[in-house]
């Protein structure tokens, strides 16, 4: 509708428009796909040095380039990273922990060549510290960069990538006092994976996490500590961990005590939840909540808690799908809530003046970097992820729901109803339903503001965002329920979420769509073949159609993940893998599908999506296949994100405009962009 203001920049006056009676399926979004991605940036990895704050910005308008940004003590912000560099690491392929700051020097990993570079913050030049290739022919990759307190060593996770064998992972250091380019010195080896190395404040101790195949870090990990001397570790010992014990976020407090988050597979007690502990000569529990202080280790460089000047802890606590900031007194074992309207927070950092920096979002506001003064309780926004704000009358608010299962278990999700100030639906009209399945699958969703969700709700869709069993944030028992049952109970939970909303009379059961990416894309294909009478159309983003193809082509980090989720491994488990693969059940598919894929995806390779598209074509089922050149796992380029969202919306509208009998067969399209 021309002449109607549907968006506003921060602080601008919004127009008021009378709504008109229009069926839900004819609503036009209050925010376009172009606006959804117009100036949105990704925010991550806050670092502090003195009175300066640093963070990473992922910029879709710059083809997904990551840039270190500095905010000085006057509030002035500027880019630190020279234009020819992209601060991103490929360790575990998911990356993270790609830079650190020490004494006005930035140490970072450049995406194109994966080398570590050193840059003076006032210089536009950066010099490499590591070689293009190692002497053994491997490519060095680096993550979780951290500098020793004396500034002499750079410590990190070190991955050697080989062409003809499995990658090897280590802990390693670089001597920062030596000039020129050199290979790192390995200080820990023998385990399949390492994570989160950290120096003690005195610099004489190093702590880290390690684990082996076939486990993931949220299954079984070990917390280690050793004495750091020259380029070696001595007196190494295990602090905690082992089989069925998951540890994350090791940190030294201001008194040199080692703190960490841990859970155990022990039923429904508080030990079953990610709680805080500390260690000196013995392990002491700090919290005993039936809530989560941890998170699954998908990426490096995360921080769920930090220490105030008096050694109290400020942390993120997750309960019933909501993040809370809390202050914990480790001596009194007491916990108090920090009041705010935020429902999501991450990357917590503190300075010596008791200012807390973190990334937060509410159910009305998109993500931003905040600074919280613990004395005055003033909460300031330092950087927004987008300058666009939607009108309050167009924002759909989430409702946290819990619904029961046939086996008397429960699952959770967030329900959003359609909202658009320009429209009102006829009284006898129910909206179409869009089901969201998050990736992972060991991950979760939150009820915080999302431009993508608001795009759909303002377009007349009800949206249910499902935290199926296997999701994090609900304790170890809920998370581990998916082991051996991936593609079974999570699919049931997604289908039951739809049944619940239909039974409540909230949606049109003949118009149900489902979308998801990665493991969420697998879920799209899985539920469409398991429950063909429920789901009428789907969008799979870099999804998995054939689990055998995934295992044959995926990277080291997740190469045994599927074995635990399926409950067996190849080749002896071939029958079970085929039973759980949507690819082998397309004869049951009744609904059209649109598939999106990145050509450079190393996690879910293009073969996975191309295989499904070919099978749909062979069976005469309507589909579209779109592959974006140069994109990897999760699209980062603005134009591709806009294009995929527009195509998905058009595809749904086209399918829902047809009669039920016409929805399977139709024109098929394949595009390489």
In tens, the pLDDT along 416-426 reads 999 999 999 99
Query: Environment class of residue 488 by beta-carbon count within 10 Å: exposed (0-12), middle (13-18) or buried (19+)?
Result: middle
| Helix, coil or strand: residue 642 | helix
| pLDDT value at 664 more than 60 | no
Helix (H, G, I), strand (E, B) or coil at 335: strand
pTM given for the model = 0.91
- Which range has the worst mean pLDDT, 105-114, 341-350, 557-566, 629-638? 629-638
List pLDDT tens digits, range 535-563: 999 999 998 888 998 888 888 999 999 99
| Torsion, Cα of 207, 209, 212, 215 (10° steps) | 160
Half-sphere exposure of 239 (CA within 13 A, CB side): 30
Neighbours of 652 (CB within 10 A): 25
- pLDDT mean over 565-589: 93
Report pLDDT digits (tens) over 220-233.
999 999 999 888 99
Whether residue 290 contacts residue 344, with contact meaning beta carbons closer than 8 Å, is answered with: no
Q: Tokens in use for 204?
A: 């004489």
Task: Please state the rounded mean pLDDT for residues 68-97.
Answer: 96
- The predicted-structure confidence for 425-455, as pLDDT tens digits, reads as follows 999 999 999 999 999 999 999 999 999 999 9
662 versus 410: the higher-pLDDT residue is 410
pLDDT at residue 14 greater than cutoff 50: no
Res 363 pLDDT > 90 = yes
Between CA 364 and CA 235 the distance in angstroms is: 51
What is the pLDDT at residue 406?
76
Any alpha helices (H) in 74-223, and if so which ranges? none
Determine the Cα–Cα distance for residues 638 and 655; give it in Å rounded to an integer: 26
Are 274 and 246 in contact by the 8 Å Cβ rule? The answer is: yes
Give residue-wise pLDDT tens across range 618-649.
888 899 999 999 888 878 788 899 999 999 99
Quickly state the pLDDT bin for 662 (edges 50, 70, 90): low
Q: So what's the pLDDT on residue 616? A: 87
Sole residue written with tokens 């129910």: 430
- pLDDT (0 to 100) of residue 18: 59
In 496-630, the DSSP E strands lie at 512-517, 537-541, 593-598, 623-628
CA distance 323 to 442: 17
| Structural domains of the chain sorted by starting position, each given as residue range(s) with its CATH number in brackets | 7-38+390-672 (3.40.50.1820), 308-385 (no CATH)
> Quick one: pLDDT band at residue 156, thresholds 50, 70, 90?
very high
CB 233 within 8 A of CB 259: no
Does the pLDDT at position 671 exceed 70?
no
Nearest CA to 58 out of 77, 35, 39, 78 is that of 39
Lowest mean pLDDT segment, chosen from 107-111, 150-154, 516-520 = 516-520
Which residues are within 8 A (CB) of 169 and not within 5 positions of it... i.e. 6 or more apart?
Answer: 157, 158, 159, 160, 191, 192, 193, 194, 556
Q: How confident is the model at residue 606 (pLDDT cuts 50, 70, 90)?
A: confident
Q: To the nearest whole number, what is the mean pLDDT of the chain? A: 92
Residue 649: alpha-carbon gap to chain centroid: 24
Structure confidence at residue 672 as a pLDDT band (50, 70, 90)? low
Mean pLDDT value of segment 243-254: 97
CA 158-178-155 angle, 5° bins = 30
User: Rounded to whole angstroms, what are the CA distances from 491 to 422, 434, 535?
Assistant: 36, 15, 12
Q: What is the pLDDT of residue 12?
A: 37
Q: What is the pLDDT of residue 269?
A: 85
How many whole angstroms separate alpha carbon 621 and alpha carbon 591?
A: 8
- Paired tokens of 103: 């004494």
State the first-to-last Cα distance of the chain, in angstroms, to the nearest integer: 30
Tens-place pLDDT, residues 172-223: 999 999 888 999 999 999 999 999 999 999 999 999 999 999 999 999 999 9
* Signed CA dihedral, 152, 158, 161, 165: sign only: positive
Percent of the chain with pLDDT over 70: 95
Q: What are the pLDDT digits (tens) for 460-483?
A: 999 999 999 999 999 999 999 999
pLDDT above 90 covers what percent of the chain? 81
- Residue 102, φ and ψ in degrees, nearest 5: -150, 125
What CA–CA distance (Å, rounded) separates 468 from 479?
9
């Amino acid at each position: 509708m021309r002449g109607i203001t549907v968006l506003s920049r921060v602080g601008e006056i919004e127009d008021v428009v009378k709504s008109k009676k229009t069926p839900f399926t004819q609503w036009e979004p209050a925010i376009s796909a172009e606006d959804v991605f117009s100036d949105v940036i990704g925010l991550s990895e806050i670092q502090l040095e003195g009175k300066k704050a640093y963070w990473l910005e992922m910029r879709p308008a710059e083809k997904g380039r990551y840039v270190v940004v500095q905010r000085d003590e006057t509030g002035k912000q500027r880019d630190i990273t020279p234009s020819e560099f992209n601060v991103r690491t490929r360790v575990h392929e998911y990356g993270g922990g790609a830079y650190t700051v020490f004494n006005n020097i930035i140490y970072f990993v450049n995406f194109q060549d994966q080398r570590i570079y050193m840059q003076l913050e006032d210089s536009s030049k950066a010099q490499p510290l590591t070689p293009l290739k190692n002497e053994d022919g491997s490519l060095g990759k680096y993550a979780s960069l951290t500098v020793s307190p004396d500034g002499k060593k750079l410590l990190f996770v070190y991955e050697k990538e080989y062409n003809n064998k499995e990658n090897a992972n280590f802990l390693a250091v670089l001597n920062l006092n030596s000039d020129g380019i050199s290979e790192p010195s390995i200080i820990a080896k023998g385990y399949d994976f390492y994570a989160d190395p950290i120096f003690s404040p005195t610099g004489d101790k190093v702590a880290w996490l390690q684990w082996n195949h076939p486990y993931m870090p949220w299954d079984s990990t070990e917390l280690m500590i050793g004495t750091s001397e020259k380029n070696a570790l001595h007196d190494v010992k295990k602090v905690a961990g082992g089989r069925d014990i998951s540890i994350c976020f090791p940190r030294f407090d201001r008194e040199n005590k080692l703190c960490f988050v841990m859970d155990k597979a022990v039923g429904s007690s508080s030990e079953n939840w990610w709680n805080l502990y500390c260690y000196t000569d013995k392990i002491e529990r700090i919290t005993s909540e039936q809530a989560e202080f941890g998170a699954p280790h998908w990426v490096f460089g995360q921080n769920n808690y930090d220490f105030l000047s008096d050694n109290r802890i400020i942390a993120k606590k997750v309960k019933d799908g909501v993040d809370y900031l809390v202050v914990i007194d480790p001596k009194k074992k007491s916990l108090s809530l920090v009041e705010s309207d935020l429902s999501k927070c991450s990357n917590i950092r503190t300075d010596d003046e008791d200012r807390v920096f973190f990334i937060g979002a509410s159910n009305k506001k998109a993500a931003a970097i905040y600074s919280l003064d613990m004395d005055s309780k003033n909460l300031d926004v330092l950087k927004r992820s987008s300058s666009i704000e939607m009108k309050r009358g167009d924002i759909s608010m989430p409702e946290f729901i819990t619904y029961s299962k046939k086996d008397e278990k429960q699952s959770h999700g967030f329900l959003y109803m359609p909202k658009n100030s320009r429209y009102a639906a006829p009284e006898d009209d129910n909206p179409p339903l869009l089901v969201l399945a998050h990736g992972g699958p060991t991950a979760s969703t939150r009820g915080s503001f999302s431009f993508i969700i608001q795009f759909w709700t303002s377009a007349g869709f009800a949206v249910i965002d499902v935290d199926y069993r296997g999701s994090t944030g609900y304790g170890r028992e809920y998370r581990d329920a998916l082991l051996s049952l991936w593609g079974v109970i999570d699919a049931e939970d997604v289908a039951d979420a739809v049944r619940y909303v239909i039974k409540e009379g909230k949606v049109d059961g003949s118009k149900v769509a489902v979308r998801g990416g990665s493991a969420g894309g697998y879920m799209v294909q899985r539920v469409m073949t398991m429950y063909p009478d429920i789901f009428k159309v789907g969008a799979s983003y870099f999804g998995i159609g054939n689990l055998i193809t995934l295992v044959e082509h995926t990277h080291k980090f997740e190469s045994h993940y599927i074995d635990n989720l399926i409950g067996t491994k190849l080749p002896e488990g071939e029958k079970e893998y085929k039973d759980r693969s949507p690819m082998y059940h397309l004869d049951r598919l009744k609904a059209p599908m649109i598939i999106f894929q990145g050509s450079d995806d190393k996690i879910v390779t293009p073969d996975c999506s191309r295989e499904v598209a070919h099978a749909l074509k062979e069976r005469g089922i309507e589909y579209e296949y779109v592959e974006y050149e140069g994109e990897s796992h999760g699209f980062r380029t603005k134009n591709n994100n806009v294009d995929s969202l527009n195509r998905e919306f058009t595809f749904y509208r086209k399918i829902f405009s047809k009669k039920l009998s016409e929805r399977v067969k139709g024109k098929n399209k394949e595009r390489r962009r």
